[in-house]
Structure 1
Amino acid sequence: MDSRYFTEEHELFRQSLKDFLQKEVVPHIDKWEETGHIERFIWKKFGDMGFFGIPYPEEFGGLDLDLFYTVILLEELQKINSGGFAAAIWAHAYLAMTHLNKEGDQAIKEKYLAPSIAGDMIGCLCITEPFGGSDVAGMRSTAVKKGDTYVINGSKTFITNGVLSDYLVVAAKTSPELGNKGLSIFVIDRDTPGISATKLDKLGWRASDTGEIAFDNVTIPASNLMGEEDMGFPYIMQHFALERLIMGINAHARAEFALEYALEYMKTREAFGRTIDKFQALRHKIADLYTEMEICKEFNYSVAYRLNKGEYVVKEATMSKLQCTKMSDEVIYQCLQFLGGYGYMEDYPMARLSRDSRLGPIGGGTSEILREIIAKMVIDKKDYKPAT
């Protein structure tokens, strides 16, 4: 236990979570990976255990706990070897629900946040568009004010929980002439007329339902606007720090899982009369990979500590996602190699890990975009500020 970040209470929570995942989730993972459908009962069980309410106010059924409980949840979700299941959970709890909590008014929180915490509703966050990718400011979806309603038109893609969720948190342009200063955020019920969704067939994250969503003259009450009109871009940017740190933490956790599994395999696999963990070439490679993983993990804990104190760590979180997802891909590639032919077999975890990990440098902002964002901060001295 690292006493700088984790208390005894944290560790008790970790053990309780591990037990829950092994009992309630792991027996179903292979089926969900095959069908691409996470059964509804598990959402309610997560809600009953309080896992969706970790950072949220007690007023709405949350636990109002510090960020290191979230770190534990993310780490342990990566160690059951289903990036898709993990993504479905954290996309609901930390993408959709973060906007509800931060920008939603009392009525929205009562209608959507409270049942989301309870596991009775599932949410998704709809930002990425078919023509936009990482270019949030270039989105084309529009929300036109008509009396006491907004009419939404456009499309979104690569949306985790995009097919099976109960509500959608959607970014659209309310003032297209203002560019990125004309975005707004809305919450929309799934059964609103004009919404259609198509499930996408992915290389990895097979358990999660990733969708392309179309909005055809979707009319919603003006009260479904979250926060102020035309303030969507700073809201999104503000929450990107958490999203990027989440993906950095996911990366160090799955790399650690891969290394631990590979080491256990190498302790029993014999070649030329000895176990392969005794060969110097492999030992030194393991040493390098462990070093890279531990450096990333320690950096993530440091950034989480600062974010937990309320600091605006967008630069550090961006660095976390960039470096940790790169590290994870390299670690898992090498761990698959350590298993030899067995690493390539679906009966062993490395094949799925390899597919799931590859999304790390793509989702939530590609590595290429992140490098430019970091360059703007460290070279051009651009100062990103939180939404006020």
Structure 2
Amino acid sequence: MPGPDETQVGIVGAGPAGLMLSHLLHRQGIESVVLETRSRDYVERRVRAGVLEQGSTDLLTSSGVGERMAREGLSHDGINIRFAGEQHRIDFRRLTGRGITVYGQQEVVKDLIMQRLADGGEIWFETEVSAVEAIDSDHPRITYRRDGEDAGLTCEFVAGCDGSHGIARAGLEAKSYERNYPFSWLGILAKTPPASDELIYAAHERGFALHSMRSPEISRLYLQVEADETLAAWPEDRIWDELRLRLAEPSLQPGEIMEAGITPMRSLVIEPMQRGHLFLAGDAAHIVPATGAKGMNLALADVKVLAEALAAWYRSKSHDLLDHYSEACLRRVWRAEHFSAWMTALLHRDPAGDPFEHKLQLSYLRYITTSDAAATTLAENYVGFQFPSPARGGGRGGGVGE
């Protein structure tokens, strides 16, 4: 067995992608070490995405880490879209036969950490990775600093799951495709019961707003703000006043704001998602605006493909599935990028937009909420397509639009 300075798969980042990959590899008898810059407490409290597609809930359940999600997650069969003083429901279950589950990313992370530690897994918190080296060799190396000492971890493969600002992709010769949007989101986590049983997406003259939740007692709420906005400009009273105005939901009650932050809206894709023995997954490879609720779902889909490809290599030493990892993932990634950009354009007010553009937005919103064909397009993208399998022999990765 490898010693403390070597492992089979080195995983940089203990978010949903890195932890799920480590878990799936363990189930195949493959050893891994997860290196995470932050503390365990930090990653378990970090509030991020909260909507799980059917494919994500199926993966969590089938891999043995879905028990708490099944007990505490909130099952939703649709969303509400509000515009021009009216509210309309998109019925996912009727249109697609599927729904979504609201279960916070930090809860998924807690469940995965608990399972990995129960299985004797190696998660090195507060370990700062400085470089991923020799990725074109059979023994790539992760250099890191832990407990005040510099060291290295020799691997057979490295998975970069350390987010859009991580170190793993620095050595990857890849092309990036990027779009920055002219607005940001101000998000709050508030100790107040949700004002609606399902999410509300509001397209308002003053900008977009979103009503979501994390539990029957905790609400997650967002406002479109200027791209260069600061939290200092938004005292609590102003936040609640603007939410009431844009959401127009009488039952919305102010509560203690437990957390607040401003997030720039951007899209990013790195192609290819691999080089040599380094593979990117999750936000390290792609970023989507949160409007489409795709970030965590894409991360889980990526590592499902990667785990299957690595398992095939360890069984037969065949590189076929690993060679086509990017191809298998990117078809789904670009579908999610398109949907997220489309939802963002549909629901937000562009600061540089004109009245004609706004009328087009309203026309399309009316079309979506009065046509089953249009509503189905939104619904099937929102609930998600079948998770991809590794492309074989140069074939396409299945599961999206097929």
TM-score bucket of the superposed structures, by smaller chain: under 0.3
TM-score if structure 2 supplies the norm length? 0.26
Larger relative contact order (C-alpha < 8 A, sep ≥ 6)?
Answer: 2
Q: Could you say which structure has the higher strand fraction?
A: 2
Q: Larger helix proportion, structure 1 or 2?
A: 1
Q: TM-score, normalised by structure 1?
A: 0.27
